[in-house]
Amino acid sequence: MKLDLSAAWDGAMAMIRANREVVLVLAGVFFFLPYLAFSLFLPETGIAEASAANEGEMDAIAAIVMDFYADYWWALLLMALIQTIGALASLAVLGDNARPTVGDAIRRGVTLLPTQLGAQILAGLAIFAPIVLATAIGAASGSDAVISVLTLIALPVAIYIVVKFSLSSPVIAIDQTRNPLAALTGSWRLTKGNSFRLFFFALLLIVAFVVASTVLNLIIGLALALLGEHLQLIGLAISGALINAVFFVVAYAVMASVHHQLSGRATASVPRAGRED
């Protein structure tokens, strides 16, 4: 089945509209609040200051980033786990025709979290394998040119694997697949014949989001600058959390819609969480 990108987008928007109250709750709890807390209560990394002071010297910047991760890995891990549960719950609400309630969706997110983590680990190993292999072969050859050429060859392969595994989360959350390997193979099967379409669709959405969020943050930052530095930081944290929540809601709705279309599910009736016809 060929993916209809227009139908996938329309289906995603229909899913959000049909479940807007539930989606709003999930987005607030799992995407908005964790991001806001992370932005407000953890210190600045100092990357921007280091970049300005060292004129973009990568070693100094990398050292600051590593120090930040070493000190606050627990906060990053906690936020990642919370948002992963939220992702599974959102996909269940948006894409499951069984119409789970909010509580059911959250419980599904918690119980399927180990499966999701297992799938992500396996996918990560598969994605980085071509790059690691290319680097190892290049290092054995002792030639920087060989390393560069092999890396350029390995990078498209890694991107291709990313696309092929991109529907593993809907397979886990919507189909309730509990085997990580089965989730990855299910995603590989669903994306067959549509890899390039999915890649350019995702690229288009990401570029649109980056442009829109950059412009919005610039406008909000300039407006809040009049209120003082402290209020500006709080305002930017809130706007950043809102943008983060909107991005994830739209992204998971698109994934659910693509999953519906490629799995051959009926798209005429949009799932409504916890409701009856």
Give the long-range contacts of residues 97-102, CB within 8 A, separation 24 or more: 97/265, 97/269, 97/271, 98/271, 99/271, 99/272, 99/273, 99/274, 99/275, 99/276, 100/273, 100/274, 101/273, 101/274, 102/22, 102/25, 102/26, 102/273, 102/274
Mean residue pLDDT of the chain comes to 86
With bands split at pLDDT 50, 70 and 90, how would you rate the model's confidence at 264?
confident
Q: At residue 78, what is the residue type? A: L
End-to-end CA distance of the chain: 29
Give 204-220 pLDDT, tens digit per residue: 999 999 999 999 888 88
Give 92-143 pLDDT, tens digit per residue: 999 988 888 889 999 999 999 999 999 999 999 999 998 888 888 878 877 7
Given a cut of 80, is residue 49 above it in pLDDT? Answer: no
Rounded CA-CA distance 187/164 in Å is 6
- Residue 200 token pair: 């350019």
Supply the pLDDT for residue 269.
41
The position carrying tokens 């809130």 is: 238
Percent of the chain with pLDDT over 90: 57
Percent of the chain with pLDDT over 70: 89
Rounded CA-CA distance 95/273 in Å is 9
Q: Are 35 and 241 in contact (CB under 8 A)?
A: yes
With bands split at pLDDT 50, 70 and 90, how would you rate the model's confidence at 61?
low
User: How many Å separate Cα 202 from the centre of its chain?
Assistant: 11
With bands split at pLDDT 50, 70 and 90, how would you rate the model's confidence at 276?
very low
Rounded CA-CA distance 133/206 in Å is 29
**Mean pLDDT, rounded, for 134-155:** 82
Q: Are 11 and 271 in contact (CB under 8 A)?
A: no
| Domain spans of the chain, in order of start | 5-116+170-182+190-262
